[in-house]
Amino acid sequence: MRKNEPHPLVQVEHYERYVGAEVVERILEKARPLQDLRVAHVNSTYYGGGVAELLSPLTLLMNSVGMATEWRAIQGPPDFFNITKKMHNALQGADIHLTPMKATIYEDVVYENAVRNRLDHDRVVIHDPQPLPIVRHSRKRGPWIWRCHVDLSRPDPALWAYLKPFVEQYDAAVLSIPEYERELSVPQLFFMPAIDPFSIKNREMNDAEMDERLAHHHIPTDLPLVVQISRFDRWKDPEGVVAAWRLARKQMPCTLVLLGNMAADDPEGQDVYSEVMRHSDERLIILSREDTALVNALQRRAAVVVQKSLREGFGLTVAEAMWKGTPVIGGNVGGIRHQIQDGHNGFLVDSEEQCAGRIVQLLKSPKLRHQMGQHAHETVRRRFLMTRYLEQYLDLFNAFEARYHLRPLPHLST
């Protein structure tokens, strides 16, 4: 940290208390050959959703180890984001009717963003389908990487056939877990996301701070809290969470809190929020707020956190709650399965009835909640902190040769 710096940033060295001095030194050693490397990350929004949650600390950490790292977000009209939201859904298995007109709008808006953004960096990382075709319109001065955060296990075949030629113009594709691997002509690597323990959302809070946030938003604490924190998105299955809670409360009185937001690149969010609001009552609290301290307080104060997703590329909110020592009941899908070891550090469920049963089981047993919470925190400490994610990018950046072909990377798929 620079002396007399007015606004100190989190440095890799600050993670030593969590990951140990050996890991910190290894990361700094890997960063030395990359000093002054110019890096750009490009996605579709600066706030809302997991990609923005990742890029905020990641880009700062990359700068802290000596890489000149920028973060760009593309712009577009509502038509563009309506199309890309449908693409997002279709990559996760929904249907899509991608007409020539829609494809033209998609590609034209991405081209406009290519003109606005001079991406002549040494390494460029493009996130998800929204800015994907930008590679066709940019002069590559170094390797380009496509980082896909969604569940690619069952993409719509026609959409994937359309997007695949864009993907194959990149020098590597990074997916979250091996189950999402596709047949591609470029190398595929697997980086599971990670959390920043120093953020407002994840840092320690005392009881008074938690009480203040909950009281500010009129959240009662006289009964145990069951909490789901997600974007208002049908893949997060808020209706299923409500149904499971209604079954559980017949045996164990409790309050359900659904806290979410509407990402700037997700035009369906308001519709989902309006649909869920129909269920609101004094024991079912539905909030759309941009309040990361409230997220932190709820995840810490909850007896149970639920993430009953139907599809989930990873699910950062799972790792966030686990870090706080709170047991999580997660949908048995995608990246959640790589975080929760069923029965050890949380529960995996396939139905509303299973979810309700696990809620009741946890509410009835403070000892089980405590044990699972301890295991959950340790899992995140070992596997899902931002230092591991940064190190994987350092390994990838170092692996590119002068002509930016990849050397073998067997150690990156961790």
**Strand, coil or helix: what is 293?**
helix
pLDDT in tens, 212-263: 999 999 999 999 999 999 988 888 999 999 999 999 999 999 999 999 876 6
User: pTM value?
Assistant: 0.91
Is there a domain that residue 409 lies in? no
pLDDT in tens, 25-39: 999 999 999 999 999
User: Are 261 and 145 part of one and the same domain?
Assistant: no
For residue 267, what pLDDT is reported? 66
Is there a domain that residue 25 lies in? yes
Going along 186-252, which residue ranges are E strands? 188-190, 225-229
- Residue 46 sits in a domain whose CATH number is 3.40.50.2000
Query: Sign (positive/negative) of CA torsion 43, 183, 389, 18?
Result: positive
Element (H, E) at 123: strand 123-127
User: Are 16 and 65 part of one and the same domain?
Assistant: yes
Across the beta sheet with 255-260, what order do the strands follow? 284-288, 255-260, 225-229, 304-307, 328-331, 346-349
pLDDT in tens, 55-111: 999 999 999 999 999 999 999 999 999 999 999 999 999 999 999 999 999 999 999
Instruction: State the residue range of the domain holding 121.
Output: 12-194+385-399
Is there a domain that residue 119 lies in? yes
DSSP-derived pairing of the beta strands 123-127 and 68-73: unpaired
User: Are 264 and 315 part of one and the same domain?
Assistant: yes
User: Are 185 and 332 part of one and the same domain?
Assistant: no
Q: Binning pLDDT at 50, 70 and 90, where does residue 413 land?
A: very low
User: Are 268 and 287 part of one and the same domain?
Assistant: yes
Is there a domain that residue 55 lies in? yes
Q: In this structure, what token pair is assigned to residue 330? A: 């997660």
Torsion, CA 315, CA 320, CA 324, CA 328, rounded to 10: -10
Q: Binning pLDDT at 50, 70 and 90, where does residue 414 land?
A: very low
**Contact call for residues 61 and 10 (beta carbons, < 8 A):** yes
User: Are 238 and 107 part of one and the same domain?
Assistant: no
User: Are 168 and 224 part of one and the same domain?
Assistant: no
Is there a domain that residue 84 lies in? yes
User: Are 245 and 334 part of one and the same domain?
Assistant: yes
Is there a domain that residue 225 lies in? yes
User: Are 340 and 393 part of one and the same domain?
Assistant: no
User: Are 220 and 160 part of one and the same domain?
Assistant: no
Q: How many domains does the chain have?
A: 2
CA 283 – CA 272 distance, rounded (Å): 20
User: Are 18 and 162 part of one and the same domain?
Assistant: yes
**Strand, coil or helix: what is 385?**
strand
CA 260 – CA 291 distance, rounded (Å): 10
